[in-house]
Amino acid sequence: MVKKKRDKLSKYKNDLARFSRLSYERGLVAARGGNLSIRIPETERVLITPSGISLRDITPEIIIEVDIEGNLLKGKKDLKPSKETPFHTSIYRLRGDVMAIAHLHPPFATALSLKDKPLPILTAPGMVNLAKVPLVQFAFMGTKELCDYVTETVKESMEAKAYLLKGHGIIAVGPDLESAYYIADLVEDCAKVAFLHSVNG
């Protein structure tokens, strides 16, 4: 039983490292932005990427563990949990269906967030798989204000698979990290199509 738990924990950490790198390589995030997390099933614990490290450089060994309130449980002493840990844990407390979160900064989605409207969904895959992507009001990174805005928007749209953060990026959620990653990728594709349509329409 203990070995199984260790193996699952190792898999979750490997998934975080893998999808962090994929997010960077796909251009869904740049520099040291973005953060990913996984809620450990049947626990009140969360694994999250550390603050101040590019998603390109995430490895399983540096993943940090916090409780559902965001308190540090395990991690290397020179590393801190992502500054966006508060809104990750808030989403987990609100939505029992969410087991993974990808907060990324894709450029087309971020650009469209400045229009102060939910993301336009113009493609069939978007209509089927996203339905809507609500807009979260602007607040600076890592602030209580941002966490409050995210919490408020999630409460208003509990069925959404993604949320658009004004001037900041997106939050994609799912039953596992692979699902959250592909939702983020689809959101950016929809944003790109919406942008091209607005330019050429």
80-97 tens-digit pLDDT: 999 999 999 999 999 999
Where in the sequence numbering do the catalytic residues fall?
Answer: 84
The domain in which residue 38 lies consists of 2-200
Q: CB atoms < 10 A from the CB of 129, how many?
A: 16
Residue 51 confidence (pLDDT): 96
Look at residue 143 in the predicted model and tell me its pLDDT: 96
Cα 75 from Cα 61, distance rounded (Å):
9
The residue written with tokens 């450089």 in the block is 57
Residues of the chain with pLDDT under 50: none
User: Residues 162, 173: contact at Cβ < 8 Å?
Assistant: yes
Query: How many domains is the chain built from?
Result: 1
pLDDT of residue 156: 97
Tell whether the torsion through CA atoms of 97, 159, 23 and 145 is positive or negative: negative
Residue 184 one-letter amino acid? A
Q: Quote the pLDDT of residue 198.
A: 85
CATH number of the domain that residue 41 is part of: 3.40.225.10
pLDDT the model gives residue 136: 98
Cβ-contact 171, 165 below 8 angstroms: yes
Write down the pLDDT at residue 1.
59
Question: CB neighbours of 108 closer than 8 A, spacing ≥ 6?
Answer: 188, 191, 192, 194, 195
Q: With CA atoms as reference, report the closest residue to 147 among 74, 80, 70, 73.
A: 70
Distances (CA, A) of 121 to 28, 117, 162, 194: 18, 12, 12, 7
Give the end-to-end CA distance of the chain in Å, rounded to a whole number: 59
Helix (H) or strand (E) holding 65: strand 64-67
CA atoms of 132 and 78, how far apart (whole Å): 40
pTM of the model: 0.94
